[in-house]
Structure 1
């Protein structure tokens, strides 16, 4: 409870005043890095020896939830850096790689990104075609990555490339600094939502990196990516919960104040019932997400299934709740000045990023007995 209150206080004090400007500019407010670091919100997955606090998955879910109540576009930027990219270095990086990056990431002095998705390989991670060729001096990486969050901000990218056999058996992760020869970036993509985040194409044109930039084990990158997806999906589920909770709070106030047919909207049974179902959906998504986080932290054998369930339920529930919020706000919910309109745009990506609805359902269906 105290941790949540601290995160909410930080969000209200430091993030909310910056949302409108960040949305209009289409950029992340750089002054937030120092504030996030000072509040200890960038190091929950990083060892204490490198400036982190070695927090758990539940804490990451709560951070994602509270930051996203103000703005998912702002929230996703530190979440990608600290809880989607940095964990690969914390978990599988060499001592030198950890020393190079982890303290700087937890201290808000460096930003990380993970570059796996390609124009022709999104949900099918094993189908990526970027190639890494070993040379006497290191590796040469060629390929293109697409929809990479933080690409234009990142000091280091964790890049997945094919270094060996087909499909799952031949993928390796590499630590690629932003100034690596041959690395370049496209212009910021104009997105429906997450407008204050940086998303770009990453071009790897003969990128040269030394041998010691392999993250983890050569040709085991697919399995490392799948392991990293677990915390990523918890964070994305937390984002959906936060956005839905914010919109539900806004709806409760709106239906009490807004009058129709001579009485507040709360006088209409259909409105009361809709708000009640929104509350049920939110509670269900939160409980399933917290259970998944707790199972991750405990090393429960069914944790991956719980995470898939949470990612699916939270994303779908958030979109449904926020859609209902727009409906209850009426015309006011359709104009950009209303926060529910922004949350409506921002929530849609949650059913795609980090593993689509269909991927989560396939994980769940394969876990069924006899499947």
Structure 2
């Protein structure tokens, strides 16, 4: 089935129930074995109306956050970070184009991506700066009624199968030496770049990630966000990715806890099931309580009716750290079997979860975003401590 545009959350859930069937489960298993992302999976999601049902008709700039969460939950249940993150990256690029793409060319790319006819990826990080997008070294300069784009992007997931890269770069028409205030985003066809061999990674095998060497020219209508607005554009896309990662982690953790709980009820040691041993049962209960709160937090963000960039950063870093703990504890409870690759998927899930603390922004980068939005209560301090102080004296300067 295909959800009608503007369908409610219940209809969208029904659509996801129908789409996330045996076909996607099989493709996911094949992708884990081959360590290659199946482009046909994104095509299937698009043609089935999964992205369209979430984004609505052409021109809508804001997603339905509740549907964003639901899609993330379904991706997390697949038990493959490579597949889940790959889909979310394509969707994050759609987010950038929906809000910032103004030309007919960009709108066409965007709607084809929504329908699964085109695959998108994002080229942001470089060897020089990693997560620091303010010192990006890829350069864009005006030339021949368009733009010359030159640089190297180190971590571009989906680049081996994508059609277009949303490249984060800096405009050098004004001050070539400047590294601040001139960040832009430009769409570059993958047919005009050199995609290197995919990296071998610790986990998330199907998430094809490679370096991309760029030295090309594109027409003016490929510019997504002009110099000075690039950070806003990429931050918007990253907020979608972070929300999706948090939702995937919540769903993945629930699956792992359920599998581990079943194991504990079947495994007996010292005359009782593992779940009857209070120490293990309390440990599981603690993890379950926090995973429940994570999911409630995601639903609370969705209830606001808009995507909150600070909340997306906060929930992603919190989810990633919790997910790492859940996987580590569950793998421990599985004992020796959890360490055997041929007996259980716990080891693979454990390795996959590590990506959540790096992809879409490291813990420290996200904590900085949260810290920057914190507000001191000087009146409360004066009332409780009794020593009123000028706010300016303690301004952090961040």
Verify: 1:173 aligned to 2:185, yes or no.
yes
Instruction: Report which stretch shifted further, 346-355 or 334-343.
Output: 334-343
- Contact 2:106/2:224 (<8 A) preserved: no
Q: C-alpha deviations, 1:194-253, integer Å up to 9, x for none?
A: 10111000111x211112211033332112112222212101111211211110111111
CA apart distance, 1:44: 4.8
CA apart distance, 1:305: 2.6
Report what 1:286 is aligned to: 295
Where 1:132 maps in the other structure, the secondary structure is strand
Quote the RMSD (CA, aligned, Å). 2.1
Verify: 1:305 aligned to 2:300, yes or no.
no
Give 1:22's match in structure 2, choosing from 21, 31, 39. 31
Query: Which of 1 and 2 has greater Rg?
Result: 2
CA apart distance, 1:335: 2.1
Runs of 4+ residues over 6 Å off in structure 1 = none
Verify: 1:201 aligned to 2:211, yes or no.
yes
Give 2:269's match in structure 1, choosing from 242, 260, 271. 260
Task: Give the Cα separation in 1 of the matches to 2:137 and 2:95.
Answer: 24
CA apart distance, 1:9: 5.3
Matches for 1:114-193 after TM superposition, within 5 Å: 114-164=122-172, 166-180=178-192, 183-193=193-203
TM-score (norm 1): 0.91
CA apart distance, 1:193: 1.1
- Contact 2:98/2:107 (<8 A) preserved: no
Where 1:147 maps in the other structure, the secondary structure is strand
Give 1:341's match in structure 2, choosing from 344, 347, 350. 347
Give 1:314's match in structure 2, choosing from 306, 316, 319. 319
TM-score (norm 2): 0.85
CA apart distance, 1:13: 2.5
Where 2:129 maps in the other structure, the secondary structure is coil
Report what 1:239 is aligned to: 248
**Structure 2 residue runs without a partner (length 5+):** 1-8, 377-395
Task: Give the Cα separation in 2 of the matches to 1:117 and 1:104.
Answer: 25
Task: Give the Cα separation in 1 of the matches to 2:346 and 2:16.
Answer: 21
Where 1:169 maps in the other structure, the secondary structure is coil
- Contact 2:242/2:316 (<8 A) preserved: yes
- Contact 1:281/1:321 (<8 A) preserved: no
Where 1:113 maps in the other structure, the secondary structure is strand
**Structure 1 residue runs without a partner (length 5+):** none
Task: Give the Cα separation in 2 of the matches to 1:267 and 1:115.
Answer: 50
C-alpha spacing 1:277/1:55, structure 2 compared with 1 (3 Å): same
Where 1:290 maps in the other structure, the secondary structure is helix
Q: C-alpha deviations, 1:64-108, integer Å up to 9, x for none?
A: 1211221221122222112x1111111111241344212321222
- Contact 1:315/1:347 (<8 A) preserved: yes
Task: Give the Cα separation in 1 of the matches to 2:336 and 2:121.
Answer: 38
Aligned length: 362
Task: Give the Cα separation in 2 of the matches to 1:123 and 1:258.
Answer: 44
Give 1:326's match in structure 2, choosing from 331, 340, 343. 331
Q: C-alpha deviations, 1:274-323, integer Å up to 9, x for none?
A: 1101101201221222323433x336xxx333222201111111111111
